[in-house]
Structure 1
Amino acid sequence: MESIYGENIFILNNENGLRSFQIRIHIEAPEELTISTKLNTNTNNSDDFSYSFQVKYIPPIILTCLLPKSYPTHLPPYFTISVQWLDSVRISSLCSMLDSIWNEQHGQEVIYSWAEWLHSSAISYLGFDKEIILGPYGRKDRGDPRAISGCVSADVDIPSLKSYNEEQRLESFLTNLQECCICFSEFAGSEFIRLPCQHFFCEKCMKTYSDVLIQEGSVNKLLCPITKCGGMIPPGLIKRWLGDEEFERWESLTLQKTLESMTDVVYCPRCETPCIEEEDQHAQCTKCFFNFCTLCREKRHVGIMCLTPEMKLRILQERQGSGQMGDKQRRREQEMIQELLSVKEILRDAKQCPSCKMAISKTEGCNKMVCQNCGKYFCYLCNKAIDGYDHFRSGTCELFPQQEVMNWEERMNPRQLVAQIQAELYAELGHTCPQCGQNNVKIGNNNHIFCWACQGHYCYLCRKIVRRGSQHFGPKGCKQHTVG
């Protein structure tokens, strides 16, 4: 029996020369099981709240047996059945079924038949093929004395079942081969990084992914690599695949990005320490105690208007000719002049994000902008913070400037015209686009067809829409280049 059940059988102490043991019987169930129960919210049963959840693994049935000396010729094994999630009445029905199996196989070895029946048929016998119903709780009828129920209450049983399911999922994940979603290589689950969102990737890919983002300074993009997920990665997991030096850089950059995205944080102009801005646009540095205006970054001036950047630049430039200024002060003011000139040049072709004041330039495209520093959206025309495209539907701002539309048409029209002429001249060589029905011609031996009408892509061989050429064409897909 030990060779059959392995680590799932436990030999107990022999009593009076009688053999006894326990078998943990894991239940054969569908891919996912629904477990439901009623939670009493009131003494009135009509107000019970039904709660259900999905699991893949449920705690095993424990079959404990004591073999009498006359087994199997005359007597069956003495046994108990213990189940954590079943009430005593249902366990009693399992006990009765084991008795029936013995009656059918009287005089034969029956332990294996019992274990196999509990493994493969117990769920369907109880009518739980689609859903396991916990409870009822508080029933006084104890049923068969051989039936041992571990049910306590829904408040105890539900967390216990969920915890067991997660433990078994993790064990299965670690011991089986898994495929990395980035490099598509297979490794044991223990060599993978599993994120809280349940997506997982091999350590090598996660390290490369993190190194690239940290080197670029884009630590706010260090999220789950699955595009549609974007789940957060806890610092403890990040530290697992980064070295101490890299992790310190990640912490430093994350703090810097977080402070830069906070609208009420400013930096002391003397020592660059982050400070909290007060409501009247002033702040006091907690390190050097400099009290300054957050608008012009000069010493606080209550009741006096700030100098504009142009005025400040003119004053600094005039002071450069003074012979009474020391070399250190002169260098400091030269740096300030260069900074003001740089800001002036940047703001000539850029807009400041209304949330974090980061300067952003637009070369082409629509007027819906996203700040790469704080992630907020704003309109490039009116410089107001927005949410989605509603601003362009109801306001006076245009999503696409007319000049941008004209430029796009100038680029696209010649291409469309050439494709249209080819489609008309070589109609017998073409196939209709599965997306819009427009006829398109195969150019050369390339089976990757670009539709001039809807700007879509499709395969000349199978007529299917191509989302990504690298995935559709290849050893397991269609050939990208064929004659004819």
Structure 2
Amino acid sequence: MSAGPSAAPPATVTNSNASSHKMSAMGFEQRLRLMCARARQIDDEAGTGLSESERQHCLEEQREEIEALQSIFDTDFEAIWLASSATSSPPSPTSTFAASASQGASSSSSSHDSPPSPTASFTTAPYNSFLIDIRIAMPSPLLVVSSPPTATSSLSSTPSSSSSTTTTTSSSSSSSSSSSSSSSSSSSSSSSSSSSSSPQPSTSTTSASRQPPLPPPFLISHLPPLRLLCLLPHSYPSASPPLFALLSSWLSHAQLARLCAQLDATWQQQSGLVVVYTWAAWLGEEALVCLGIGQELRLLGGGGWGEVGGEGDRKGGERQKKKSKDEATCPCQDAPAAYCRAVPEGMSLHDDLALLRRWSKEMDDRHFRASLHACAICFSQKPGLECVRPACNHAFCTACMSAFAEALVGEGNLQALKCPDTKCRAPLSYDLLRSLLPHELFTRWEQLTLQRSLDAMPDVVFCPRCSQPCVEDPSDHHALCPGCFFSFCGMCREGFHRGKTCVTPELALKLMKLRQQERTLAEEELRKQKDLEQQVLSLKLVEEESVPCPVCSTSISKSEGCNKMICPTCGTYFCYRCHERISGYDHFTNGTCVLFEAAEIDQWEMQMAAMGAANNQHHRPPPPLGADGRPLPARRCPNCRQFNHKEARNNDMHCWSCRTRFCGMCNQVMRNVYHFRPNGCRQHTDD
């Protein structure tokens, strides 16, 4: 068997026992039971025409396909045991009927009285089943547009859903009966459902009118996965296709039926070959193309059985015509509803829209956390786990955004709490600020926000006793404090005086204008107060760290260097220690003041020593070696005291550090070439 192309389709496979988010565990088990019963019927029909070698070949093909899918999708498969009705009854819905494929019949023996022997019939072996979550490939974002439910969609969708539910119950209760009783039960269920669904349209229309308004169109970059439930009959792939059900929370029954028909066509083209991988790849890559969904996804109200369309499903007549055509070609149209393979999981239009938005947001966040982003503040590359993203989708590292938010909240400048990007001024959300700010600053932000909101309300005044916000009656300006229960007039801030005019209309107008100006200037006053605090701190620092010029009194501070200062304003020279005006360096020679402080000298010597050590380490030549391989004796330079070595027995030495010329015998500095004489130092020696 071929495992398919090397590149796996955008799909993941999960355990078949995991129930979907819209389907209960009981409904999931019931669907698997019905698929097992259907597989038994197929195997009973196909098994008579297959030889033993062909049966073994089918099982071998299934095992190879399972191994290939496991290597591609990295998942576990289930072997579901289906006992013959002649030997034992089917297990109860609450009993365990699924076991690991590796355990086989040993696991199934715990659920049945008589375990099968190796020579058991072809239809009593365990069935392999699996559930694949197929991720839909989207070349570009989709615009989701929703439409409210109409009376036509309610009339057409309600009986279909009711008939499906009723027939499912009928089919599950009579799975072991004859085909004639099953068809009569199905027809009776259909008639009863159609008769019971007559009052449905008015109820559906009334409930739709009471629903909240639909959200505006929005863009999504990821779609929830399609769910492909497969069960492999024993005659697959030689004589029969795999049984499957296609589940979706955002597609309608008609569209799922269209996809099911395409899967059937693929099986007809590749009959006798394994097709599950081909199905998964086609659904992931071509499902939107098959449904005509390009740049826009339109959702109609009416539940999961309503119509979900693409760009071409705008007109009602075309939509109804397409729906009728799809349902007519649905392979499960004439079969019992329990065997219907197109299973829409959507419950309501609002739930489906919320699911689409939530899924796209979660996938976007997952991709954001798994990638690197350039912070627009510090311009450094940070992983997504160390970054935050406002609603405008600009990425910033958490450290920069925290410092940005803390500085603005500390200053009280709440109006600047927006996206730091120069071309975007989107406000920062409540949740983002709560994650960036510490508890104290976040509490301050809440208080300032509340205070400014109250200041913006024209009917809110503050109690003159306890400063609590109060609501003023605009008719008579009466206000009652909820804190101290003081009843006062909102105009004059005195005790309330009903029926008496406290101020003239002209004065009342002036007071109202003054109150409005106070609210408008509240932010400016807060900023001025903050600037004043900064000025006080600056003046305090200037007084502690600077000295005044003896001529113009300009405050001057020394960062480093000598104590001879020059005023940048008037150009006066003065001593930094005694603040006296000086002209040269005689003040530091004859007086008590020193030119350099001891700490300055120590710091300078440390810097020079560090620079000299680095320079010496870099420029020092390697010592010459003697005949025994050891370094020759070194002479110290009489000037800088650095070690130097003789070269070629020559006592005329030049210091490598300070370039001083000195004698290697007497260690004296040489001023001329006449140092080496017959009665003096010799120029060449062997030491």
Q: TM-score range by the shorter chain?
A: 0.5 to 0.7
User: Is 1:66 equivalent to 2:253 in the alignment?
Assistant: no
Give the equivalent residue in structure 1 for 2:286.
121
Q: Secondary structure at the match of 1:248?
A: helix
| Equivalent residue for 1:161, pick from 331, 349, 356 | 356
Shift of 1:24: 1.2
| Equivalent residue for 1:12, pick from 56, 59, 78 | 78
Residue 492 of structure 2 contacts residue 503 of structure 2 at CA under 8 Å; is this kept in 1?
Answer: no
User: Given residue 80 of structure 2, which amino acid in structure 1 is its aligned partner?
Assistant: N
1:57-456 equivalences under 5 Å are: 57-134=222-299, 137=306, 141=327, 143-145=330-332, 147-150=341-344, 151=346, 154-196=349-391, 198-226=393-421, 230-262=425-457, 355-357=516-518, 372=524
Q: Distance in 2 between matches of 1:51 and 1:32?
A: 16
Shift of 1:208: 0.7
Give the equivalent residue in structure 2 for 1:23.
132
Deviation readout 1:11-57 (Å, 9 max, x if unpaired): 23433322211111111122212344653445599xxx998553222
Q: RMSD of the TM alignment (CA)?
A: 4.4
> Relative to 1, partners in 2 of residues 1:116 and 1:192: Cα closer, same or farther, differing over 3 Å?
same
User: Given residue 137 of structure 2, which amino acid in structure 1 is its aligned partner?
Assistant: E
Instruction: List runs of 5+ in structure 2 lacking aligned partners.
Output: 1-68, 82-124, 155-213, 308-322, 333-339, 505-512, 528-687
> Relative to 1, partners in 2 of residues 1:203 and 1:303: Cα closer, same or farther, differing over 3 Å?
same
Q: Secondary structure at the match of 1:22?
A: strand
Residue 262 of structure 1 contacts residue 356 of structure 1 at CA under 8 Å; is this kept in 2?
Answer: no
Q: Distance in 2 between matches of 1:246 and 1:229?
A: 24
Q: Secondary structure at the match of 1:31?
A: coil
Paired positions, count: 316
Residue 282 of structure 1 contacts residue 294 of structure 1 at CA under 8 Å; is this kept in 2?
Answer: yes
Give the equivalent residue in structure 2 for 1:33.
142
User: Given residue 355 of structure 1, which amino acid in structure 2 is its aligned partner?
Assistant: Q
> Relative to 1, partners in 2 of residues 1:121 and 1:293: Cα closer, same or farther, differing over 3 Å?
closer
Deviates more, 1:221-230 or 1:202-211: 221-230
Q: Secondary structure at the match of 1:69?
A: coil
Deviation readout 1:156-203 (Å, 9 max, x if unpaired): 533433333333333333333344343343434343334455555332
User: Given residue 86 of structure 1, which amino acid in structure 2 is its aligned partner?
Assistant: L
Give the equivalent residue in structure 2 for 1:437.
none
Residue 492 of structure 2 contacts residue 502 of structure 2 at CA under 8 Å; is this kept in 1?
Answer: no
Q: Secondary structure at the match of 2:516?
A: coil
Give the equivalent residue in structure 2 for 1:470.
none
User: Given residue 14 of structure 1, which amino acid in structure 2 is its aligned partner?
Assistant: I
Q: Secondary structure at the match of 2:433?
A: helix
Q: Secondary structure at the match of 2:246?
A: strand
Q: Secondary structure at the match of 2:396?
A: strand
Q: Distance in 1 between matches of 2:350 and 2:446?
A: 40
Q: Secondary structure at the match of 1:357?
A: helix
Q: Distance in 1 between matches of 2:147 and 2:490?
A: 59
> Relative to 1, partners in 2 of residues 1:2 and 1:296: Cα closer, same or farther, differing over 3 Å?
same
Structure number with higher relative contact order (C-alpha < 8 Å, ≥ 6 residues apart) = 2
> Relative to 1, partners in 2 of residues 1:70 and 1:264: Cα closer, same or farther, differing over 3 Å?
closer
Q: Counting helix residues as a fraction of each chain, which structure ranks higher?
A: 2
> Relative to 1, partners in 2 of residues 1:228 and 1:265: Cα closer, same or farther, differing over 3 Å?
farther
Q: Distance in 1 between matches of 2:235 and 2:501?
A: 105
Deviation readout 1:54-113 (Å, 9 max, x if unpaired): 322222222222223344444432323223333334333333333333343344332222
> Relative to 1, partners in 2 of residues 1:78 and 1:305: Cα closer, same or farther, differing over 3 Å?
closer
User: Given residue 261 of structure 2, which amino acid in structure 1 is its aligned partner?
Assistant: S
Q: Distance in 1 between matches of 2:482 and 2:146?
A: 57
Q: Distance in 1 between matches of 2:432 and 2:223?
A: 29
> Relative to 1, partners in 2 of residues 1:44 and 1:78: Cα closer, same or farther, differing over 3 Å?
closer
Q: Secondary structure at the match of 1:213?
A: helix
User: Given residue 11 of structure 1, which amino acid in structure 2 is its aligned partner?
Assistant: F
Deviation readout 1:276-325 (Å, 9 max, x if unpaired): 6676778776666777787787889977879xxxxxxxxxxxxxxxxxxx
User: Given residue 185 of structure 1, which amino acid in structure 2 is its aligned partner?
Assistant: S
User: Given residue 28 of structure 1, which amino acid in structure 2 is its aligned partner?
Assistant: A
User: Percent sequence identity over matched residues?
Assistant: 35
Deviates more, 1:84-93 or 1:111-120: 84-93
Q: Distance in 2 between matches of 1:84 and 1:272?
A: 55
Give the equivalent residue in structure 1 for 2:652.
none
Give the equivalent residue in structure 2 for 1:2.
70
> Relative to 1, partners in 2 of residues 1:112 and 1:269: Cα closer, same or farther, differing over 3 Å?
closer
Residue 137 of structure 1 contacts residue 152 of structure 1 at CA under 8 Å; is this kept in 2?
Answer: no
Residue 229 of structure 2 contacts residue 244 of structure 2 at CA under 8 Å; is this kept in 1?
Answer: yes
Q: Distance in 1 between matches of 2:453 and 2:72?
A: 58
Question: Structure 1-normalised TM-score?
Answer: 0.52
Q: Distance in 2 between matches of 1:10 and 1:35?
A: 35
Question: Structure 2-normalised TM-score?
Answer: 0.38
Q: Distance in 1 between matches of 2:502 and 2:246?
A: 86
Shift of 1:250: 2.9
Deviates more, 1:248-257 or 1:208-217: 248-257
> Relative to 1, partners in 2 of residues 1:153 and 1:256: Cα closer, same or farther, differing over 3 Å?
closer
Residue 412 of structure 2 contacts residue 526 of structure 2 at CA under 8 Å; is this kept in 1?
Answer: no
Instruction: List runs of 5+ in structure 1 lacking aligned partners.
Output: 307-351, 361-369, 376-484
Give the equivalent residue in structure 1 for 2:667.
none
> Relative to 1, partners in 2 of residues 1:70 and 1:199: Cα closer, same or farther, differing over 3 Å?
same
Q: Secondary structure at the match of 1:356?
A: helix
Q: Counting strand residues as a fraction of each chain, which structure ranks higher?
A: 1
> Relative to 1, partners in 2 of residues 1:58 and 1:293: Cα closer, same or farther, differing over 3 Å?
closer
Q: Distance in 2 between matches of 1:259 and 1:37?
A: 38
User: Given residue 341 of structure 2, which amino acid in structure 1 is its aligned partner?
Assistant: A
Shift of 1:243: 2.1
Residue 418 of structure 2 contacts residue 426 of structure 2 at CA under 8 Å; is this kept in 1?
Answer: yes
Deviation readout 1:199-238 (Å, 9 max, x if unpaired): 5533212211112112222234334434665444454442
Q: Distance in 1 between matches of 2:353 and 2:438?
A: 40
Deviates more, 1:119-128 or 1:160-169: 160-169
User: Given residue 147 of structure 1, which amino acid in structure 2 is its aligned partner?
Assistant: R
> Relative to 1, partners in 2 of residues 1:120 and 1:287: Cα closer, same or farther, differing over 3 Å?
closer
Residue 55 of structure 1 contacts residue 165 of structure 1 at CA under 8 Å; is this kept in 2?
Answer: yes
Shift of 1:114: 1.8
User: Given residue 306 of structure 2, which amino acid in structure 1 is its aligned partner?
Assistant: Y
Residue 174 of structure 1 contacts residue 188 of structure 1 at CA under 8 Å; is this kept in 2?
Answer: yes
> Relative to 1, partners in 2 of residues 1:126 and 1:284: Cα closer, same or farther, differing over 3 Å?
closer
Q: Secondary structure at the match of 2:129?
A: strand
> Relative to 1, partners in 2 of residues 1:14 and 1:41: Cα closer, same or farther, differing over 3 Å?
closer
Q: Distance in 1 between matches of 2:296 and 2:451?
A: 51
